[in-house]
């Protein structure tokens, strides 16, 4: 990627005059565009800012919020918080896994779905809960999960 | 008539949008409008609409959907509000006995409108604080007895005084809105429901210590909170309540928002500061304290959302009024987030000094399905499980600490007989071992070893010496770890061993999980005499583990069964039982 210009990442970097102090915000900006932090993106940021790629990777790998692999168009986050756990979140995770046929952290072949287990979403009163992109779903049962996933698939013509 | 619709994340997830649709469609062309407000804490009855009649009477409707919302709207048009979907008197006990300071605006003000906050008395405290000046503000906070609501309960005025005493032209206020404690959601509710209250508290703190910049470190998992904070800050700027020389007072202040990237350890002050500077969130030893050398190496005061949300009330009503509530060492109110197996989960703000029973049974109506309470977990991964016979413990920082749990940020997870204590200990240890930043050995390796032992016990491979090893390991991690995360990580294990040692012993000696939760120790079985052979379970089973002939008893293949519970949920004849510890039975 050396020498190549990436206008999207440039636009993110422009917002932060001190990219080193704002490294987390920079990486969040990049992740918002691509859905994850790619090796190419890390190298590009290094090239532009002189922040060592080791430091960028150190930060990107430390925080649960950064993904080093691509995500699906629909990113399902199954809450593994305490209240959800007490109300059966493991079974919710198992159901998502069975419905999508992929392990946590992976993407379906059509690129439509990925799923992961996440720390508390703060929706404890409607546990068990999950989020798909920015929308929260609560009071889940295995059947409700199947319904939600099916309706997305249907909406996508699958 | 006013219609206030609960429009927090929890309300939206429960269907507030269809309620909005229903109401708006019916109200089209009429004088009525729907106001979107934050969560009023009655989460158990979401989606909620509060109708405030012209005479000031308030009627609460819960568990609405589009159809019932339409009915409500139609009834309002006729001038006679419908009876259906009203919260019962019993349910309304949830609100009685609460004293709301932090949550006073949640569900009342429009979180996306500065005018709404001001109409409800907002920013009066700021004006007052500007005329009081630094020393008087800190004195008032000192009189109030306010202690940090994020977990440790450190006296707020000492922090403010220390930051004030540090000499520098550049100082910072940081709001810790990285609510990472699983089971706590009061900060989310306040940020989503009444963001200006937090901003006002931060600005007053800025006057007190001489800071001109406030940084909010908020969880990225709370997109709605981020959106509303941004909107609130934007509106303040437009109205000239931010920037240079606010209200001609000579005081200048501005805000910056930074989104956290998902690390529980960032609740620790020094780790949070590292994260704010674009680094891995790893704690460092104190001193220097943030009040001396914090953000950008300048004096910094860090408080949590709930702490800041108390400030404007204290300045307006006086420290004495705040201190008149609570116990000897713990003043004012505290917000608790009730969840788990409790009948009415939600947010409860009460004066310190009530008992846990008062909250769980008095306010929240007891346990789901009227089951028997087993324990209440307080303080999340840093706290502990308080057993049923100790639920008359009076809530204040010291009393809760004496049980082995901590007040923490106020999460209360209620557990019934179906909750396995070994499983809970394992759950928390799994959390802390993943969230350990890895810097110090006791925490990094210690929590991993504790988790391995707990997994072994839950899998029926525990040894008799395991319990003592866990206690020994736990105690050494508590004393040896660098920061609060490690110091408190063993608490969930140590308290469950202290109060529920028999459950650990049952797992180890009898290979039995008394709560019938640990999958390696349980087996599903169909009771032949009860099974009618309807085949429903067999059709629902996701792994085709159930087989048989219609109208004769079915059977479960234990090898295939994943113990998901789907069959039990479907069976209409109660014919499926969970068996654990067969050797004993």
Is residue A32 located within the same domain as residue A95?
A: no
* A84 and A149 co-located in one domain: yes
In chain B, CATH 3.40.30.10 sits at 2-92
B275 touches chain A (CB under 8 A): yes
Whether residue A36 is found in the same domain as residue A99? no
Distances (CA, A) of B302 to A63, B135, B272, B315, B577: 21, 19, 9, 19, 52
Top pLDDT among B290 and B542 is at: B290
Judged against a pLDDT cut of 90, whether residue A3 lies above it is answered with no
Q: Which residues of B31-63 are buried (b: 16+ CB within 10 A; e: fewer)?
A: ebebbbbbbbbbbbbbbbbbbeeeeeeebbbbe
Is the same domain home to A51 and A87?
Answer: no
Domain with CATH 3.30.70.20 in chain B: 522-580
Phi, psi for A111 (deg, rounded to 5): 75, 5
The yes-or-no verdict on residue B156 having pLDDT over 80 is: yes
Please write the tens of the pLDDT for every residue from B289-303: 999 999 999 999 999
For the segment B196-233, what is each residue's pLDDT rounded down to a tens digit?
999 999 999 999 999 999 999 999 888 899 999 999 99
Residues of chain A neighbouring B278 (CB-CB closer than 8 A): 20-24, 59
Q: Is the pLDDT confidence value at A1 over 70?
A: no
Of the three residues A41, A62, A83, the one that is the final residue of a domain is A62
Test A83 with B181 for CB contact under 8 angstroms: no
Chain B within 8 Å of A12 (Cβ-Cβ)? no
Say yes or no to pLDDT of B585 above 70.
no
- The answer to whether B345 contacts A83, with C-beta atoms less than 8 Å apart, is yes
Chain A environment of B215 (Cβ under 8 Å): none
Count of domains for chain A? 2
pLDDT digits (tens, 9 = 90+) for B54-93: 999 999 999 999 999 999 999 999 999 999 999 999 999 9
The answer to whether residue A68 is domain-embedded is no
> Å from A137 to nearest chain B CA?
5
Q: What angle do the packed helices B223-238 and B186-193 form, to 10 degrees?
A: 40
Burial zone of A50 (CB within 10 Å; 0-12 exposed, 13-18 middle, 19+ buried): exposed
A88: which chain B residues are within 8 Å (Cβ-Cβ)?
565
The pLDDT value given to residue B583: 54
For CATH 1.20.1440.230, list the domain ranges present in chain B: 421-509
A residues 100..129 contacting B (CB < 8 A): 118-127, 129
pLDDT in tens, B23-49: 999 999 999 999 999 999 999 999 999
Architecture per CATH, B114-323: 3-Layer(aba) Sandwich (3.40)
The ipTM assigned to this model is 0.90
CA distance A64 to B504: 32
Long-range contacts, stretch A87-94, CB < 8 angstroms, 24+ apart: A87/A127, A87/A128, A87/B340, A87/B341, A88/A128, A88/B565, A89/A127, A89/A128, A91/A142, A91/B564, A91/B565, A91/B566, A92/A128, A92/A130, A92/A140, A92/A142, A92/A145, A93/A117, A94/B562, A94/B564
Same domain, A78 and A142: yes
Instruction: Let me know: does B276 contact B174? Beta carbons within 8 Å.
Output: yes
Q: Which CATH class is domain B421-509?
A: mainly alpha
Q: Alpha-carbon Rg of chain A, whole angstroms? A: 18
Count CA within 13 A, CB hemisphere, residue B240: 6
Q: Please tell me the predicted confidence (pLDDT) of residue B536.
A: 94
Under 8 Å CB pairs connecting chains A and B tally to 154
Residues 35-54 of A with CB under 8 A from B: none
Is there a domain that residue A104 lies in? Answer: yes
CATH number at residue A139: 3.40.30.10
Do both A86 and A129 map to the same domain? yes
| Residue A8 distance to chain B (closest CA, Å) | 20
**Cβ distance of A86 and B222 shorter than 8 Å:** no
Domain that holds residue A84: 74-155
Residue A1 lies in a domain: no
pLDDT tops 80 at residue A51: yes
Span A74-93, mean pLDDT?
Answer: 91
In a domain, A96, yes or no: yes
The predicted model gives B122-137 an average pLDDT of 97
Answer CATH for B522-580 from 3.30.70.20, 3.40.50.150, 1.10.1660.10, 3.30.110.30: 3.30.70.20
Place of tokens 């990237």: B261
Q: Of B169 and B180, which is predicted with more confidence?
A: B169
For residues B478 and B566, which has the higher predicted lDDT (pLDDT)? B478
- Rg, chain B, Cα only: 26
Residues A142 and A78 reside in one and the same domain: yes
* Topology given in CATH for the domain delimited by B2-92: Glutaredoxin (3.40.30)
pLDDT in tens, B377-397: 999 999 999 999 999 999 999
**Which segments of chain B belong to CATH 3.40.50.11540?**
114-323
Residues in chain A, overall count: 158
**Do A14 and A58 sit in the same domain of this protein?**
yes
| Percentage of the residues of chain B whose pLDDT score is greater than 70 | 99
Among residues A17, A34, A33, A16, the alpha carbon closest in space to that of A25 is found at A16
Helix (H) or strand (E) run with residue A28 in it? helix A23-34
Asked which of A42, A62, A82 is the last residue of a domain, the reply is A62
Q: Is B323 strand, coil or helix?
A: helix
A143 in the same domain as A78: yes
Q: Which residues pair with A118 in a beta bridge?
A: A79
For residues A80 and A56, state if they share a domain. no
pLDDT tens for each residue of B280-337: 999 999 999 999 999 999 999 999 999 999 999 999 999 999 999 999 999 999 999 9
What integer best gives the mean pLDDT of chain B?
95
Specify the length of chain B in residues: 585
User: What does CATH list as the number for B333-416?
Assistant: 3.10.20.600
């Amino acid at each position: 990627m050396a020498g190549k210009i990436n206008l999207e990442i440039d636009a993110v970097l422009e917002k932060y005059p001190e990219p080193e102090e704002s490294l987390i915000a920079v990486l969040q900006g990049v992740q918002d565009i691509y859905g994850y932090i790619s090796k190419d993106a890390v190298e590009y940021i290094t090239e532009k800012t002189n922040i060592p790629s080791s430091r960028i990777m150190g930060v990107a790998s430390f925080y649960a919020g950064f993904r080093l692999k691509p995500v699906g168009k629909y990113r399902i986050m199954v809450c593994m918080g305490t209240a959800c756990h007490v109300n059966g979140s493991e079974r919710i995770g198992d159901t998502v896994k069975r419905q999508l046929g992929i392990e946590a952290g992976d993407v379906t072949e059509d690129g439509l779905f990925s799923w992961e287990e996440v720390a508390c979403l703060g929706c404890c009163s409607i546990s068990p809960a999950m989020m798909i992109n920015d929308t929260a779903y609560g009071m889940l049962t295995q059947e409700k999960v199947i319904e939600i996933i099916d309706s997305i698939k249907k909406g996508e013509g699958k | 008539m006013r219609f206030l619709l609960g429009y927090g994340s929890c309300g939206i997830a429960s269907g507030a949008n269809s309620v909005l649709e229903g109401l708006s469609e019916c109200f089209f062309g009429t004088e009525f409008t729907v106001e979107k407000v934050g969560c009023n804490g009655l989460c158990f009855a979401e989606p909620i609409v509060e109708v405030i009649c012209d005479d000031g009477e308030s009627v609460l409707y819960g568990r609405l959907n589009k159809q019932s919302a339409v009915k409500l709207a139609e009834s309002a048009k006729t001038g006679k509000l419908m009876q259906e979907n009203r919260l019962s008197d019993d349910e309304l006990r949830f609100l009685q006995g609460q004293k709301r300071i932090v949550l006073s605006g949640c569900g009342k003000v429009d979180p996306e409108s500065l005018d709404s906050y001001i109409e409800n008395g907002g920013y009066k405290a700021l004006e007052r604080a500007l005329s009081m000046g630094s020393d008087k503000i800190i004195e008032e906070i000192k009189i109030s007895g306010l202690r940090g609501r994020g977990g440790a309960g450190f006296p707020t005025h000492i922090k403010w005084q220390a930051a004030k005493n540090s000499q520098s032209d550049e100082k910072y206020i940081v709001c810790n809105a990285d609510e990472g404690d699983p089971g706590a959601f009061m900060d989310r509710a306040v940020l989503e429901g009444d963001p200006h209250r937090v901003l006002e508290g931060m600005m007053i703190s800025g006057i007190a210590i001489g800071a001109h910049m406030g940084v909010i470190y908020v969880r990225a998992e709370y997109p709605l909170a981020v959106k509303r904070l941004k909107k609130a800050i934007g509106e303040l700027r437009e109205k000239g309540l931010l920037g240079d020389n606010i209200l001609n007072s000579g005081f200048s202040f501005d805000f910056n928002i930074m989104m956290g990237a998902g690390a529980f350890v960032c609740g620790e002050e020094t780790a949070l500061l590292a994260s704010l500077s674009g680094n891995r969130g790893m704690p460092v030893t104190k001193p220097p304290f943030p009040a001396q050398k914090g953000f950008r190496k300048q004096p910094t005061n860090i408080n949590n959302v709930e702490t800041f949300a108390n400030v404007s009330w204290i300045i307006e009503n006086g420290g004495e009024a705040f201190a008149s509530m609570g116990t000897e060492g713990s003043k004012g109110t505290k917000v608790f987030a009730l969840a788990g197996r409790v009948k009415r989960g939600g947010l409860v703000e009460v004066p310190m000094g009530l008992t846990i029973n008062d909250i769980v049974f008095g306010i929240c109506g007891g346990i789901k399905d009227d089951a028997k309470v087993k324990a209440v977990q307080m303080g999340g991964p840093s706290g502990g499980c308080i057993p049923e016979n100790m639920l008359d413990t009076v809530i204040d920082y010291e009393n809760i600490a004496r049980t082995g749990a901590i007040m923490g940020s106020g999460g209360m997870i209620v557990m019934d007989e179906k909750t396995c204590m070994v499983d809970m200990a394992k759950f928390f240890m799994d959390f802390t071992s993943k969230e350990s930043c890895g810097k110090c050995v006791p925490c990094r390796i210690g929590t991993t070893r504790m988790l391995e032992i707990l997994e072994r016990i839950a899998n029926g491979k525990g040894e008799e010496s395991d319990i003592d090893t866990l206690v020994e390991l736990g105690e050494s991690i508590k004393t040896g770890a660098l920061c609060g995360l490690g110091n408190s990580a063993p608490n969930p294990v140590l308290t469950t061993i202290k109060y529920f040692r028999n459950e650990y012993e049952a797992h180890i000696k009898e290979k039995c999980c008394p709560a019938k939760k640990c999958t390696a120790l349980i087996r599903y079985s169909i009771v032949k005499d009860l099974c009618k052979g309807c085949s429903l379970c067999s059709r629902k089973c996701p792994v085709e583990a159930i087989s048989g002939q219609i109208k004769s008893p079915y059977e479960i293949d234990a090898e295939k069964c994943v113990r998901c519970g789907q069959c039990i949920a479907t069976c209409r004849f109660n014919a499926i039982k969970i068996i654990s510890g067969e050797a004993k039975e």
